[in-house]
Structure 1
Amino acid sequence: MATEPAEPGGDRLARGLAAIDAANAEDPNQLVVDGTSRPKELVHAERMSHWLAVLAPDATEAQQLAARAHHLRRWVSPRSDYPDGRAAYLRWRADHKRREAAEVGELLEGVGYDAATIERVQAIVAKERLRSDPDVQTQEDALCLVFLELQYDDVAAQLGDEHTIQVLQRTAKKMSPAGLAATGAIAFSEHGAALLARALAPAEDPPPR
């Protein structure tokens, strides 16, 4: 019996990305980009793909799919559905990871991906072995760059300078040297650039006693 030829990887990748985009296009939350209102998580996913291409031009299919899927349908389980406090926050994150892994798996299985590739995508999205897996670190770098590009100014306006600097310092600690270097490609506001420079400046030694 003749077997069907294997589907070209590029075609399957395109269908996988399109399936993820279709899911994120349902986001009722909007961002205005270049004067056009668009679904928030769709914009987020597209910028994740952009930064992945900057950081890892030879990224694997699993990396490309994971970058596009990282905040898949996040609006269906908002943080506001859970009580205040760290314990509730951690429960929200765990529930989100489980839901996201299941939905990513269903989408990729639907376009013909094998179990091993799906598991790899799920592991990157879940940021497993962050400090020991270069692909996961690249995912984290891309996430931080998207935050700085799309959310930083709003966060700074809400938190004030000193708290924002603390947020930037925590963000920088998550990033690799390559990720930090890529921040140079972001068009920060003058005030935003100044805060980032303060956050990244080496700590001053205490004065001698």
Structure 2
Amino acid sequence: MTGKEKLAAALKLIDDAHAQDPKKIEVNGKQQPYELHYSQKMSEYLEMRHPSAPDTLRLAIRAQHLRRWEIPRDSYAMTKVGYHAWRTYLKKRQADMCSQICIDCGYSEDDALRVAHLIRKEDLKKDEETQTLEDVACLVFLDDQFEEFEKQHDEEKIVRILQKTWGKMSEKGHELALSLPMSERCKDLVSKALAGG
């Protein structure tokens, strides 16, 4: 298989898995599995953040939530420790599954290990590609989930979360975030967060 064929085959397997997500959302008047929508948004933002990204980063970005719905949040204790344990387990599981997809599609073991490293978000702040993945995840949150999220929490908590999100991002990520279309309410919350609450 050529490089393009390998990438297409791996992306198809990832998308086929996302398409099994039982949670549906409406996008442009059509029902779509949530994780398929999410992964496509991740790829869209990668194009803005790093259009010349290598296959390994493209695959890690697309597989960020691979089969995540199979391990619901409430399968772990509903505490901060439980949340972190859940996230840690998901990252390892998603990394292992995607790395196997890479091998099955003809990628080298080194490439598969690199994809797994990125999905686990290792060496954040030191590894430029891991940082890119984090930027993209934050941008998708701000673009696609923030308006709904802010309706469910009080302002103090939202401002704190925005500050944490901002702290995870690079300068390039900040530039893209500030160019996102947002409601006046969301813009106001971002301004408060950046002004220190």
Name which of 171, 179, 192 aligns with 1:177. 171
Name which of 51, 54, 73 aligns with 1:57. 51
Provide the C-alpha distance between the structure 2 equivalents of 1:156 and 1:98, rounded to a whole number of angstroms: 29
Provide the C-alpha distance between the structure 1 equivalents of 2:112 and 2:159, rounded to a whole number of angstroms: 37
Provide the C-alpha distance between the structure 2 equivalents of 1:117 and 1:46, rounded to a whole number of angstroms: 22
- Identity across matched positions, percent: 36
Q: Does 1:146 pair with 2:140?
A: yes
Of stretches 45-54 and 179-188 in structure 1, the one that deviates more from structure 2 is 179-188
Q: Does 1:44 pair with 2:29?
A: no
Root-mean-square deviation over aligned CA pairs: 1.4
- Measure how far apart 1:72 and its partner are: 0.6
What SS does the aligned partner of 2:160 have? Answer: helix
Query: Could you list the runs of 4 or more consecutive aligned residues of structure 1 that deviate by over 6 angstroms after TM superposition?
Result: none
Aligned match of 2:90 = 96
Aligned match of 1:164 = 158
What SS does the aligned partner of 1:38 have? Answer: strand
Name which of 4, 9, 29 aligns with 1:10. 4
What SS does the aligned partner of 1:159 have? Answer: coil
Provide the C-alpha distance between the structure 2 equivalents of 1:31 and 1:112, rounded to a whole number of angstroms: 33
- Measure how far apart 1:152 and its partner are: 0.4
Aligned match of 1:105 = 99
Of stretches 7-16 and 87-96 in structure 1, the one that deviates more from structure 2 is 87-96
Deviations 1:105-160 (A, max 9, x none): 22222211110000000000100000100000000000000111111011110102
Aligned match of 2:191 = 197
Q: Which structure has the larger Rg over C-alpha atoms?
A: 1
Name stretches of at least 5 consecutive residues in structure 2 with no aligned partner: none
For these two proteins, the number of residue pairs brought into alignment is: 197
